[in-house]
């Protein structure tokens, strides 16, 4: 993975201090001004999209594959299709050229020991995201998916650089509980069974 240096040099030699933004489950952020977007991932997947030539980038944090029913649910960015469409549209509204958008993809871990990775929601999310990007013609230039560890992701929108930290820290248990709580809330709100099991 590549690392970025937060202080940079502007075109006039002035220091550029990117805005720092943290996103959590079901959120996304895009900017044409330098920003460092961070998130903490367990089984969730984050997609970093950027147009390096125009220095526009953004990231989402996806909890589930599929699409939200917008008539019954008010945080559609938790769902894969909605989260991807919202992020792509935001980049284009900011002036990105769709042909120049590239992707870096992270997460999809199986963070509970004893669970078969191929049955976990993280694997399903990773498969969904890579398939979606391929169908949309957006090239993935870097990825770190699967495994059994928590990931801290820091994405620099201006350069497309990412700093990734992997850990088996105590944060993993609280993160898993948060992901399970969000998943339960969605199931209750939708009032119907879903074909995804969160581990």
**What pLDDT digit, counting tens, does each position of 39-64 carry?**
999 889 999 999 999 999 999 999 88
Q: State the pLDDT at residue 197.
A: 34
Closest CA to 103 of 32, 166, 45, 175: 45
Q: Which residues contact 129 (CB under 8 A, 6 or more apart)?
A: 45, 47, 62, 80, 84, 105, 108
Asked whether residue 159 carries a pLDDT value surpassing 70, the answer given is yes
Determine the Cα–Cα distance for residues 177 and 43; give it in Å rounded to an integer. Answer: 11
Q: Is residue 124 predicted with pLDDT exceeding 50?
A: yes
The token pair at 149 is 């560890």
The average pLDDT across 112-118 equals 58
Give pTM, 2 decimals: 0.75
DSSP-derived secondary structure letter, 159: T
Helix axis angle, 121-136 to 80-93, nearest 10°? 40
Helix H segments across the chain? 80-93, 121-136, 171-190
* pLDDT in the model for residue 70: 53
Quick check: 2 pLDDT over 50?
no
Report pLDDT for 65: 78
Contact by Cβ (8 Å): 104, 67: no
Comparing 6-10, 54-58, 121-125, 160-164, which segment has the lowest mean pLDDT?
A: 6-10
Pick the more confident residue, 46 or 180. Answer: 46
pLDDT at position 80 is 78
Q: Could you give all domains of the chain from N- to C-terminal order, each with its CATH number?
A: 14-190 (3.30.1330.200)
Judged against a pLDDT cut of 60, whether residue 190 lies above it is answered with no
């Amino acid at each position: 993975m590549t690392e970025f240096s937060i202080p940079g040099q502007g075109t006039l030699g002035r220091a550029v201090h990117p805005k720092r933004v943290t996103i959590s489950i079901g959120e996304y952020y895009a900017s044409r001004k330098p920003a460092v977007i961070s998130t903490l991932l367990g089984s969730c997947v984050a997609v970093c999209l950027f147009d390096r030539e125009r220095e526009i980038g953004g990231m989402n944090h996806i909890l589930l594959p599929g699409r939200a029913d917008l008539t019954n649910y008010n945080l559609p960015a938790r769902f894969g299709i909605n989260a991807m469409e919202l992020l792509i549209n935001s980049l284009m509204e900011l002036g990105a050229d769709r042909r120049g958008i590239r992707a870096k993809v992270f997460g999809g871990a199986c963070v509970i020991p004893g669970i078969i990775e191929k049955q976990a929601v993280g694997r399903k999310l990773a498969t969904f995201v890579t398939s979606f990007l391929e169908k949309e013609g957006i090239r993935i230039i870097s990825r770190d998916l699967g495994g059994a560890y928590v990931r801290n992701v820091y994405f620099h929108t201006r350069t497309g650089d990412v700093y990734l930290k992997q850990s088996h820290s105590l944060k993993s248990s609280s993160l898993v509980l948060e992901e399970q709580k969000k998943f339960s809330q969605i199931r209750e709100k939708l009032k119907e069974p879903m074909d995804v099991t969160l581990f």
